[in-house]
Structure 1
Amino acid sequence: MDNKKFKALEIKEVDNDYKRNIIEKEINELPEGDLLIRVKYSSLNYKDALSAIGNKGVTKEYPHTPGIDAAGEVVEDKSNNFQKGDKVIVTGYDLGMNTAGGFGEYIRIPSDWAVKLPENLTLKESMIYGTAGFTGALSVHKLLSAGIPGKNILVTGPSGGVGSFACSFLAREDYNVTAATGKTDAKEYFQNLGVKEVISRSEVNDDSGRMLLKEKWDGVIDTVGGNMLATAIKSTKYSGAITCCGNVASADLPINVYPFILRGVSLLGIDSVQVNRELREDIWHKLASDWKPDHLDEISTEITLDELSDYIDKMLAGDSKGRVVVNLN
């Protein structure tokens, strides 16, 4: 392909500070890879916001273009896995972390990172889901595959992207979802997700030091980690299961072995980055069919590349609501 110019958000380190600018780049500046994609939509995630302020745990070298999610059309594929014009989704792997990401109009990646857009899903809808929706779906899939003993499921961090989607998917599978949240006044929001009961997160944040707690939950989807996860594990019924995908509360887990050896409880780790292609495709087809919410557009805000920097600041300040979709058309 010709060395075409395109727009991208670039984060550049200047005197120990990190500046954001919309710049013009060239195709030959992109990293090596056999698949070139014209990005139509991306989405803003907290990991992108961290990359934008120089978090070296996310991005090691600058200048850099974040964007861990991207959806668009194939321009060129040297691997012959895709045809020119195919619509594809890219989430996970190294996209947007140390590989130029979806906040640019073009990306070049290994073809194994991409999956074809399923039927009944638009490129924009795939980015309303993004990594958050994919992780929520993966959590539900793994929890239900564990063969939990009943229908009562606890979701922690239910107002976040992963938790919100998990609540919705569980409700579509006819599970009784309890949302543990600090936003107990947002009952209508949770009811619209299909949540049966909303409780204060203080109710699942036990500090008694007891080794085991009263059995309440057949399964748990935890997105926060720390003591809330420990409390959930201690409160899960015999042969129940808990998924773990976040650490916003803490990366430490203050727990003993008794829930595992006396109740047979399973703790299931969720990683959405290195998921194999077969499972990745299965999850995306589920998101395009059985688990697709009726009003997916209503939980997102669409912005342009020029508006992105302001929304990064909003996310870092905790003022961002719902999913933020970046239109690069």
Structure 2
Amino acid sequence: MTIGFEGRVAIVTGAGNGLGRAYALELARRGAKLVVNDLGGARDGTGTSGTAAQVVVDEIIAMGGEAFANAGSVTDENNVAAMVAEAKAKWGRIDILINNAGILRDKSFAKMSIADFRLVLDVHLMGSAICTKAVWDTMREQNYGRILMTTSSTGLYGNFGQSNYGAAKLGLVGFMNSLGIEGAKNNVHVNTIAPAAATRMTEDILPAEVLEKMGSETVVPAALFLVSEGAPNRTTLAAGAGGFQRAYITLTRGVRVDADAMSPETVATQFEKIGGRENELLPENAFVQSALGLGKL
């Protein structure tokens, strides 16, 4: 089986470098038409330049593909709307959106300003929402769409000095879970990737000997699978350095107590049993927790 993207139109944000560039180039090699979005700023989001996106477009055109560049911010609703409108005018449809754009403003929470907290959420979480909203109706109307969010092990499991980044990244998993439910009837699948790769975002976080084994190419196979025609829905897939894993948000079976026993002391004494992971659940929606509490499962 060969996964191809002939006739598909894809938007990749943050595609001027690193993972986004790798996604865009491989999609183009496999037949997709590309919108290459990149603000061209520094890792912390400062500065702008259209050069990075255009360089990737030139690479795609040189290999015989079709692409155009957009150097606007994913937080700019007018820019995103114009980018989507240009893609539709040029190619008539939009099939794939990879929300990859991001920045870092790392500091311990004690030293972090609310401005830096808010900016990271704006780019990662709100930027993904703005881009997704801009393509959502088109994908629903054409009864086809594949959207990929980008989470992180920091969002899933935490990391010192990245409370803003972690909050944004886990927010994207929640965004995926609800959107996947809403889009399913129109064949719009929404998934999330948790990449571990050597990029500008990780260059001073991981040792050099580790980074050299974590090229962007080790994440690309998972990302392209998650935006392919045969993609699952509402899946979080981790990838990097040759490893592929799935991440889940589960719910333990816990305990039920009678009304007259409901107290903080009961929770304290039952805490170990509440946390027991035997036969834990993978809820399909938000109502499973309520049903479990009511003894309906």
TM > 0.5 between the two?
no
Give me the TM-score of the superposition, normalised by structure 1. 0.33
Task: Write 1 or 2 for the structure with the bigger share of strand.
Answer: 1
Please state which structure has a larger fraction of its residues in helix: 2
Higher relative contact order (CA 8 A, sep 6+): 1
- TM-score after normalising by structure 2: 0.36
